[in-house]
Amino acid sequence: MIDIVGLIASNLIWILAIVIGGTLISISVHFIPVGGAPAAMAQATGIGTGTVMLAAGAGIAGIIAAGAVMAVNQDLWVVIGAAAVGAAVMLAATMIVATWIYAYGVGVMPVSAKVKYDPITKYRQDLYVSQGTEGHGIPTVAYVSATIGGLLGGLGAGLAYYALMKVSTLPVTNLNLVAVVSTFTIGFFFINSVIPSYNIVGTIEGFHDPKFKKWPKAAIASFLASIPLGILAVVAVGSLAAVGGL
């Protein structure tokens, strides 16, 4: 018989790590410029897709990086660092390709309508915004914001992945363990990407967008939601490992 209370008590540090990871994921979503359908028609800044899809894509890239590195180096900082860089690179590549498409395919300037001057380059933007739009493409401030969001999201995903891998005493190269933990972490990332979507409600440009100020509400909600999620994940992975189900 599995001692669930004992399992939870012996893994409190890892549950806390998962909760922190979920909170970081929630905060990261607010940094990522998402334009949805308007951006797909070059009538708003950001990528023409939903918040959850873009954030989760970065999270999965971070999990893959964490898993690959953890197979050869189990140092916490190395693993979560690799996850952060992996997610940031994925988003950076997405942003630069989108910029090429907007600039050379659609023929619009990468500018924001939310601020008169780009906070990073200090270049004036309002002169290049088409009438009736919210801007175009991926301006510099949105690009930088997305990279920061990728780093935070990857950090959170890597932390959750590392914590769940440490719940079990099995080798980190055990493919069944990797599959189960990866599945839990991806689901965990999706949940904590959806929660801030209710803050954003549509589109967001990055840390210069007025909607960004709402991030504390989503962070608190994700923190609370991650507690039962973390407990459930630890119990599930720990129990499977204890009964030989992995």
Torsion of CA 5, 245, 189, 146, to 10 degrees: 130
For 33-92, write each residue's pLDDT tens digit: 887 778 888 888 888 787 777 777 888 889 999 999 998 999 999 999 999 999 999 999
- Tell me if the pTM is above 0.75: yes
Beta strands in the chain (DSSP E): 111-112, 135-136
Task: Write down the domain spans for the chain.
Answer: 4-241
Please compute the mean of the pLDDT values over residues 110-130 and round it to a whole number: 88
For 79-103, write each residue's pLDDT tens digit: 999 999 999 999 999 889 988 988 8
Residue 148 is predicted with a pLDDT of 93
Residue 1 is predicted with a pLDDT of 63
Residue located via tokens 């999706």: 190
d(CA 35, CA 48): 5
Residue 76 is predicted with a pLDDT of 92
For 190-214, write each residue's pLDDT tens digit: 899 889 888 888 788 889 888 899 9
Q: What is the mean pLDDT of the chain?
A: 88
Residue 107 is predicted with a pLDDT of 87
d(CA 215, CA 172): 34
